[in-house]
Structure 1
Amino acid sequence: MSLFTAEIVFKNFRQLPSAERAKFFALLAEPSIYAENFSHEEVFGHLAQDEFTSREAAEYLGVSMSTFRRYVSDGKIKASSEMGRNQLFATKELKAFKRSRREATEGAASIA
């Protein structure tokens, strides 16, 4: 995932059509933006049908690239598509894998 700075966001914002800028300010005015706790759907809902690169997927799972590559080579995670030489991974499958890892870790901790 790329790093955004305020300067980059502002530069891109200035290039938006005026209707999109107005929409942006309308979104900022929504009360939900000031809520202390956002639901998973509010934060990540727009990613539901997206695909992550290997690096983004490893970051999402909170593992190193070598661990992520091992998961792929062991067949624990499968690429959903390829773009050139790059593999892409479905958000839905990564979320399910992350949940199963968390449940396995919690289960092992409760046994110990």
Structure 2
Amino acid sequence: MSIVLTAEDLFDQVKKMPINERIKFFSLVAINAFQEADYTHEQVFGHLRNASFSAQEAAEFLEISLPTLRRHVQAGRLKPASIVGRSQLFSSADLKLLKQKINKE
């Protein structure tokens, strides 16, 4: 008879662990799960290709402040892909291009 442990069961058990044991657990997972894997950029970030990012998320991706992001928008270097109410959403492709330009400067 084998016992099947679901992801939810495991998560519940991890939540009950003392903090030091959780740190050890996640360290072991990281070391063993990613030790031999050589993931491509596409495998890790491919699902974000068509994603939209809020202004805050865009600023974090670009590693700039929100006011600096707003200045890029005002200067026309970045255009929102869509506007929902007062919120601007930015495409990942546009953010990637702007990040490349910023990194060249």
Q: Indicate the TM-score class for this superposition, using the shorter chain for normalisation.
A: 0.5 to 0.7
Match of 1:58 in 2: 59
Instruction: State the identity as a percent.
Output: 40
Normalising to structure 2: TM-score of the pair? 0.63
Offset of residue 67 of structure 1: 0.6
Partner amino acid, structure 1, of 2:82: S
Partner SS for 1:89 = strand
Note the residue ranges of structure 1 that are not aligned, 5 or more in a row.
Answer: 1-9, 12-31, 105-112
Q: TM-score, normalised by structure 1?
A: 0.60
How far off is 1:33 after superposition?
Answer: 5.1
Structure with higher Rg: it is 2
Superposed, 1:52-91 pairs within 5 Å as 52-91=53-92
Please tell me the residue identity of whatever aligns with 1:76: R
Residue segments in structure 2 that go unaligned for 5+ positions in a row: 1-10, 13-32
Task: State the SS of the aligned residue for 2:50.
Answer: coil
What RMSD, in angstroms, separates the aligned Cα atoms of the two structures? 2.3
C-alpha distance in 1 between matches for 2:34 and 2:76: 39
Size of the aligned set, in residue pairs, is 76
Q: CA deviation at 1:36?
A: 5.0
Q: How far did residue 34 of structure 1 move?
A: 4.5
Hey, what's the Cα distance between the residues in 2 that align with 1:41 and 1:33? 16
**Amino acid in the other structure paired with 1:98:** K
Cα deviation digits, residues 1-29 of structure 1 (max 9, x gap):
xxxxxxxxx47xxxxxxxxxxxxxxxxxx
Counterpart position of 1:93: 94
4+ long deviations beyond 6 Å? none
